[in-house]
Structure formats: C-alpha cells, structure tokens
A and B are shown apart, each in its own frame.
Chain A
Amino acid sequence: MSGDLAFYGFAALTVLSAFYVVFSRNIVHAGFSLLFTLFGVAGLYAMLAADFLAATQVIVYIGGVLVLILFTVMMTRIPRRGAGGRGLDRFVPAGVFALLLFALLYKVITGTPWAEKAPVSADPTTARLGASFLTDFVFPFEFVSLILLAAMIGAAILIRDRRPAADDGAGGAAAPTGEEERS
C-alpha cells in the first residue's frame, strides 16, 4: 500500500535526520539537518489529514524558525576547534535533563488514550478553519494580530541599540539577547 510506504519514508526521514541533529559535532550542520526533520513531520501531518498544520509546519517552522535558529547560531560565540570536550561535567547535566525529558514524554505517551483507528476524514481542514476564523472566532483571530504586533515591537525594543553614541566596536552584538521568539 502506497500510504504505508509514504509513512515509513517520512518517519525514516524524520528519525534519521533527528539523529544527525543530535549527534553532529557541527552545530550548523545540525541546524540544516533539522530542516529534514521538520519536513518529515510536515509529511506525517499531511498523511494524518491535517493539511493546515502541514502548511504551517513548512511555512513557519521550515521557512521561519529554522532561519532564526541558524541566525542565532551565527550570532553566538564561534566554537573554538577542539573546545567543548566530552567531559563528565557536560555529560552528567545533559544526561539528567535528557532522562527527565524522556520520563515526561513516556508518561504522556503511555497516559494518553490514543485512538487506534483515527477517523480519517478526507475533508480539508483549512476551509473549516477559515470559516471559523470569520464567524465564531472573530475576536481571538483579531487578538492574534495584537499579539504579533506586541512581538514585533518587543523585538525591536530588545535589539535596539540603547547607546547610539557608544563605541561598541565592530562586534555590534554587544548584548546578544538569547531569547527565542515563541511562536
């Protein structure tokens, strides 16, 4: 069945590129590999008849957030070659957090009553979403616009050079704000 083939193809793409993200020693390569992970997830969304979610995944995550992640990498300190060893002081906190995250995910996965046979409806969800934006959810829809406005102005104010006359040299990025845009 071609559906199974497509599912295993997207799943393999997602998992293999996710492994590369985690195990690559070059953070830029890891960022680019994340593109394939996100694309695989978009394919899985499309197979689950979540067409709007798939489009959002491609446009916002692949087109936007990934660019943001790569920019963040480019603005942070350049890793010196050979630095950042594999010492125990790095493995222990990383391992603890990984175990905690795994425990959380395991609890959620086992605790959720999954529908064994998802009722796959072939109707596109996008049109229904658009109709509900314009009828039942007018106010939340317009409110989203205000949230985006706040995000844009907030970003401008955070990054604005507060000392225009100060001589901050060629770096320009004197205070790199490590804050990620939540979206």
Chain B
Amino acid sequence: MIPACPLAAVSTGMHADFATVLIFILFGVFFGLLALGIARLLRPHNPHPEKLVTYECGELPQGSAWVRFNVRFYLIALFFIVFDVEVIFLYPWAVVFRQLAAAPGLGLLALLEMLLFLAILVVGLAYVWAKGDLDWVKSLTARPAGEEVAGE
C-alpha cells in the first residue's frame, strides 16, 4: 500500500489536483498584482489629503465608521456556520454517491440517509423561521415610532 518512493505518490493523484488549485490561486494573485502594477505605472500621480477622506455621500464624514453592530448579525452568522458544517458533511457524501448508487440497494439507502440528515436541519430552520428569529424588522413595529434602528 505504502509507495516505496514518496516522490511517486507526491506527483500523482490528489497532490496533482491540489497543485492545480495552487496554480489557480497563484495566478489569481499574480493577475491582481499585475493589473495594479500596470495601473500604477500609467496613472497620473497627484496625491491630495482630501482624496483619502472616506466617501460619505459627498459630505464630510461624521464620526467613526466603527460602530457597534446589532447582535442580530451575529445570529445570522451562527445560522450560516450551522449550514456551513452541514455542507462539509454533504461533501464526502457527494463524492461517493455515484459509486454507491451503482450498487443495488445501497444507493437508495445513501439517499435516504442524507435526506434524513437534511430533514433534521430543516426542522431547525422551520423552527427559527416560525418563531420569527429570521424576521429582520420584527422589532421595528414593536418599538415606538420615530426610533431609528441601529446597525442598518
């Protein structure tokens, strides 16, 4: 099982796939730097402090942009993490599903297993949806009129 020469393993299969990914990444970085570098050579160079001012609808910016965000953004991020982890479990399943589907009986089992996995999480999604945790403007109506909402 273990190849006698590790170099033989390195140059084939999975590592070759990851080498493709690495080449894509390197090319992406290179392309961005190339565009910026050429722009730097071609553009006129007239620095002015007002050019560095934050754009705020053409007005002079007031206060810091670093405001305290509403905790509801965090809730959405937490839901995102849950479904992110779900995708991670979908991924190895999707890799082998085609092979398993060829085997009699096993394909249906694999499909049902993943449907159960997803159904349990859909229950959670339905719960938070029905309870109104996903409603963005729920407390806008509950609050007295004239009060602005933070973090928008």
Contacts and interface: CB of A to CB of B under 8 A. Distances in A.
User: What bracket does the count of chain A residues touching chain B fall in?
Assistant: 35 or more
A77 B93 contact: no
A149 B85 CA distance: 11
A153 B131 CA distance: 10
B144 to A, nearest CB: 7
Interface stretch (A84-92, A93-101, A103-111, A155-163): A155-163
Nearest to A56: B88
Contacts of B21: 46
Contact of A159 (B72, B86, B96): B72
A124 B13 contact: yes
Contacts of A75: 68-71, 73-74
Contacts of A49: 9, 14-15
Contacts of B30: none
A9 B2 CA distance: 27
B30 to A, nearest CB: 14
Contacts of A171: 68, 150
Interface string B89-111: 10111111101100000100110
Nearest to B107: A134
B78 to A, nearest CB: 4
A95 B18 CA distance: 39
Interface in B120-152: 120-121, 123-125, 127-128, 131, 133, 139, 142-144, 147-151
A117 B3 CA distance: 12
Main secondary structure of the interface of A (DSSP, over half): helix
| Of A76, A149, A165, most B-chain CB atoms within 10 Å | A149
A52 interface: yes
Contacts, number: 201
A28 B75 CA distance: 20
Contact of A156 (B1, B75, B116): B75
Interface of A: 1, 3, 6, 28, 43, 46-47, 49, 51-52, 54-56, 59-60, 63-65, 67-68, 71-72, 74-78, 117, 119-124, 126-127, 129-131, 133-134, 138, 141-142, 144-146, 148-149, 151-153, 155-156, 159-161, 164-165, 167, 170-173, 176-177, 181, 183
Given A123-B13, A148-B85, A155-B82, 14 more contacts: A6-B22, A49-B15, A52-B92, A67-B77, A122-B3, A131-B96, A133-B113, A142-B116, A146-B120, A156-B75, A156-B128, A160-B133, A167-B143, A173-B71
